[in-house]
């Protein structure tokens, strides 16, 4: 089982700064996902900025969330932070 998201911060260019419950930190780009209908609303920067950690997932509202497995496996880990 991969780590779960402990905290999230929305950054410019549709990037998420993530802290996982194992202490690792990473950057995750949402750009490639914005083409899919479920994630298209996140093109609204104000909505994108509302990202929050919810039970290990990242969510924006009741309809949009991202799996912790995808977030962990596809993040570029930040070393030495």
Q: Alpha-carbon distance 5 to 23, whole Å? A: 10
In the chain, the domains with their CATH numbers are: 5-77 (3.30.2020.10)
Q: Alpha-carbon distance 66 to 64, whole Å? A: 7
Whether 57 has a pLDDT exceeding 60, the answer reads: yes
Question: What is the tens place of the pLDDT at every residue in 4-52?
Answer: 999 999 999 999 999 999 999 999 999 999 999 999 999 999 999 999 9
Q: Please name which of 67, 78, 76, 80 lies closest in space to residue 2, comparing C-alpha atoms.
A: 67
Q: Please name which of 80, 55, 66, 56 lies closest in space to residue 28, comparing C-alpha atoms.
A: 66
């Amino acid at each position: 089982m991969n780590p779960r998201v402990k905290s999230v911060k929305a950054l410019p260019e549709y990037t998420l700064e993530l802290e996982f419950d194992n202490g690792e930190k990473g950057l995750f780009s949402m750009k490639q996902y914005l083409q899919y209908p479920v994630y298209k609303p996140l093109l609204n920067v104000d909505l994108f900025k509302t990202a929050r950690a919810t039970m290990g997932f990242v969510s924006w509202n009741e309809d949009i969330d991202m799996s912790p497995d995808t977030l962990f496996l596809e993040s570029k880990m930040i070393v030495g932070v």
